[in-house]
């Protein structure tokens, strides 16, 4: 089976690529290499037999058509997306462009490609569209999202992902394109871009800086180790049924403050701070607008129909993650420097435009 993975140089996408190559699949990684796409994430498989990389944007029709014509994938795993809620609040139209328009363009290119396939390959083709539990809005203190949960997105990010989900299902219903939608809970693990909660806590604690936590830190998330998510997506790609939706959760609900405290404890065990607890660095900051209180996923369908369950406990996953960041300081230092350089370029461009 030949896979095309969009956004394959990102955090979750690269985990899928690395696992798929280890499993013997042929993989074509497509990525626009925006701020969070990083070729270093693919270094373990960069020269592996059966792996190809294509630098392209989903809004470039000719580039997408060329990739499909040259590599002829059997399954497309669509992970390319803008994903950070805070960025979506600051720059909502960038999320509409990538998540909505980018997905629409990919769907049209895939529809044209799929319709020209021989009958047997057309029957076997799949598009797996990777979405989020955030499209469902927030939960109260109990209950969990499942495949029938209604949409109620709260942020520009989740609204743009909801729009993409609706487009994917519309192309399935109207044109017969064999599509599958997945919804995952919060991911964490190695190679995560340092703007999300887990790496933010790790790097702040390592450097002795305040660890920012929104509000009182009571917001609850269901945490999923990224390698378990990659396993689930390959399971869906191989055995999932077109037209179906699958919810993928880690079964590890924890508040943001408790998550930060666990990370601090892991760091203190591996790299003590002169007898002081890293927990002392946890600092409450003003809450962000529209901050959902709680998310949780019921993964029963994945367990019962595709024989998948998350295998990594939160304790083990955090230990592996913290250890990875300690052992890969060069990776995150280079990522942060590129971010600083990018901000400097934007600021210079803005000054030129203003002046």
* Helix/strand/coil percent split, the chain, to 5: 50, 15, 30
> Per-domain residue ranges for the chain?
2-192+223-252+291-314
DSSP three-state, residue 78 = strand
Alpha-carbon gap, residue 81 to 115, rounded angstroms: 25
Q: pLDDT digits over 130-151, tens only?
A: 999 999 999 988 999 999 999 9
**Annotated catalytic, 268?**
no
Q: pLDDT digits over 285-326, tens only?
A: 999 898 989 999 999 999 999 999 999 999 999 999 999 999
**Annotated catalytic, 157?**
yes
Assess whether pLDDT exceeds 80 at residue 327: yes
pLDDT of res. 197: 95
Q: How confident is the model at residue 100 (pLDDT cuts 50, 70, 90)?
A: very high
pTM over 0.85: yes
**Annotated catalytic, 207?**
no
Interval 176-190 mean pLDDT: 98
Q: Are 134 and 84 in contact (CB under 8 A)?
A: no
Q: pLDDT digits over 334-354, tens only?
A: 999 988 876 543 444 344 444
Out of 31, 82, 133, 228, pick the active-site residue: 133
Out of 134, 165, 261, 292, pick the active-site residue: 134
Q: Are 188 and 198 in contact (CB under 8 A)?
A: yes
Out of 31, 82, 113, 157, pick the active-site residue: 157
Q: How confident is the model at residue 277 (pLDDT cuts 50, 70, 90)?
A: very high
Give the residue carrying structure tokens 């192309």.
171
Q: pLDDT digits over 195-247, tens only?
A: 999 999 999 999 999 999 999 999 999 999 999 999 999 999 999 999 999 99
> DSSP character for 42?
G
Domain 2-192+223-252+291-314: CATH superfamily, name plus number:
NAD(P)-binding Rossmann-like Domain (3.40.50.720)
Please state, for a pLDDT cut of 90, what percent of the chain lies above it. Answer: 89
Closest CA to 223 of 240, 245, 248: 248
Alpha-carbon gap, residue 235 to 244, rounded angstroms: 13
- DSSP lists the bridge partners of residue 247 as 183
């Amino acid at each position: 089976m030949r896979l095309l993975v969009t956004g394959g140089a990102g955090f979750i996408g690269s985990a899928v690529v690395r696992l798929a190559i280890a499993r013997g699949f042929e993989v074509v990684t497509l990525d626009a290499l925006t701020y969070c796409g990083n070729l270093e994430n693919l270094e373990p498989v960069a020269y592996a037999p059966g792996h190809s990389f294509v630098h392209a944007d989903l809004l470039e029709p000719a580039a997408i058509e060329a990739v499909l014509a040259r590599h002829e994938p059997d399954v497309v795993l669509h992970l390319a997306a803008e994903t950070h809620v805070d960025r979506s609040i600051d720059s909502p139209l960038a999320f509409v462009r990538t998540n909505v328009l980018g997905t629409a363009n990919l769907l049209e290119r895939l529809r044209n490609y799929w319709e020209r396939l021989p009958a047997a390959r057309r029957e076997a083709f799949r598009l797996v569209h990777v979405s989020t539990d955030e499209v469902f809005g927030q939960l109260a203190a109990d209950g969990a999202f499942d495949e029938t949960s209604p949409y109620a997105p709260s942020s520009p990010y989740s609204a743009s992902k909801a729009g993409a989900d609706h487009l994917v299902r519309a192309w399935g219903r109207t044109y017969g394109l064999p599509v599958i939608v997945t919804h995952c809970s919060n991911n964490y693990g190695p190679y995560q871009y340092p703007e999300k909660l887990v790496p933010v806590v790790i790097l702040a604690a390592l450097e002795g800086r305040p660890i920012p936590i929104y509000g009182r830190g009571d917001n609850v998330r269901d945490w999923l180790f990224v390698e378990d998510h990659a396993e689930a997506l390959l399971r869906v790609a191989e055995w999932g049924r077109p037209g179906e939706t699958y919810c993928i959760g880690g079964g590890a609900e924890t508040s943001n403050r408790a998550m930060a405290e666990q990370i601090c404890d892991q760091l203190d065990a591996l790299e003590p701070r002169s007898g002081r607890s890293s927990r002392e660095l946890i600092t409450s900051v003003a809450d962000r607008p529209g901050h959902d209180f709680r998310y949780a996923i019921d993964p029963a369908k994945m367990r019962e129909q595709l024989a998948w369950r998350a295998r990594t406990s939160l304790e083990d996953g955090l230990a592996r993650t913290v250890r990875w960041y300690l052992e890969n300081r060069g990776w995150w230092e280079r990522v942060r420097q590129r971010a600083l350089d990018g901000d400097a370029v934007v600021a210079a461009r803005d000054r030129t435009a203003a002046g």
